[in-house]
Amino acid sequence: MRTLWTKVGVLGSFSMAFGSILWSQKKTKPDHGASSCTSTDTNPNSLYELKLVQVLFRHGARTPLRSIPDVMEAQWLPTLLEPPEHTHINYVVTDLHGGPRPPAPVEDSYRKNVLTGGTFPGQLTTLGMQQLYELGERLRKRYIEDSPFLSSTFSPAEVYVRSTNIVRTIESARCLVAGLFQQKQKEIVPILTTEAESEILYPNYHGCKLLKIACGHLWAESSTLPDIAADLQSIQKALGIAAHQHIDFILIRDDMVAREAHGLPCPPALDTWRDTVEQRAVDMMYHVYQHSKRETLQLCVGPLLHTMITNIDENLQGTSAEPDRKLFLYSVHDTTLIPCLLTMGIFDMKWPPYAGDITLELHQHRQTKEPFVKVSYIGQDQHLPGCSGVYCPLQEFKQALSEYSLTSERYQSLCETSSTEL
């Protein structure tokens, strides 16, 4: 099992990327065609009636997955992980059917190692918890205070919470819900998870054989691209890292930005390399997805996109098993957000920040009853390519994502093959 989940090789860079690579807390500037997200469309006097909200959000700041070898180590003390009192809620983690929480091999792999200072890799910190609480407060302002779309107290009939089966995303979901409802609840908050092999909330290289084959060589190749390889050799020399050490820009960036976010010292030599490290990490990830055919992006997030579209259809058709459901919360990783942004045509070549979110709102025109989807990224409305406006007619939205959305059955069928002919 250790080999399966922590193997360093062609998927070594993915192991770091999967861990939700860290990004500084600079605000992301709006893309072209984006506008500031306001509350006018949740106002009863608006032409549009808000029907459903779905939020994909990245976890908050965390400890690094691995320290840069042969350099000054940071002290990751347990005091950095203490939960703020205002983030506490009464919750339970279950499988998708309400049964016991499934095994968590990814989390188990983290706990086989201890960072200098005594904490485990990949753990949500106090800072990260606060970031998700504040995201919850932003959602509260929009959907409760500015307009009474949601109840002010948590209700599982109204709000669905799902997370990857990793402690940092589970805790991030907890903190967001605490901020959204100000710890007000009459019932226990269920946070649903699933076993690692069938997870669709991140690109599942371990559960989908074909995805591993399709991307394996691209991950290996990304570190050997001429410009990236030259910069990597230079920074390795500047930091005094032994030639035999297996490193790449994703590993360096992970540790570097984790330290910066928590005010811990970085090797001084990194100062002049910071921007290069940031850009090269993005370049590596972009190489994997940009040079892949559309079927690879399908395998990364196709089932998730299909699930979100199905949620929209069931709301409009009145066929949802939970007719009062208004909000779907998905606690995920930056490696979820990046492929989603790519499929929507709005990736800005910047790594998603801690607590970064993609929000899909379903609206219905009050007069014509025509449905529209509005997408925002980190609080900025987005005009998707293929859509006639920020309020995207549902059929245009579906058409824009049609080449990436995958049913569960089609996904399973594709994943089971070992063919390299994507």
Which residues are catalytically annotated? 59, 334
What six digits make up the tokens of 250?
A: 């994703």
Q: In whole angstroms, what is the distance from residue 53 CA to residue 36 CA?
A: 17
Q: Give me Rg for the CA atoms of the chain.
A: 21
For tokens 């949740």, the residue is 42
DSSP one-letter code for 163: E
DSSP one-letter code for 87: G
Contact criterion met (CB below 8 Å) for 287 and 250: no
11 to 109, 211, 284, 396: CA distances (angstroms): 15, 11, 12, 36
Kindly provide the residue ranges of all beta strands, DSSP E only, lying in 277-386, ordered along the sequence. 327-332, 357-365, 371-377, 380-382
Question: Taking Cα atoms as reference points, which of 387, 375, 394, 386 lies closest to residue 317?
Answer: 394
Bridge pairing between strands 91-94 and 189-192? parallel
For tokens 């002010």, the residue is 152
What six digits make up the tokens of 191?
A: 């946070």
Q: In whole angstroms, what is the distance from residue 123 CA to residue 119 CA?
A: 8
Question: SS3 for 267-284, per residue?
Answer: CHHHHHHHHHHHHHHHHH
Question: Taking Cα atoms as reference points, which of 149, 151, 126, 146 lies closest to residue 61?
Answer: 126
Contact criterion met (CB below 8 Å) for 405 and 305: yes
Q: In whole angstroms, what is the distance from residue 99 CA to residue 356 CA?
A: 30
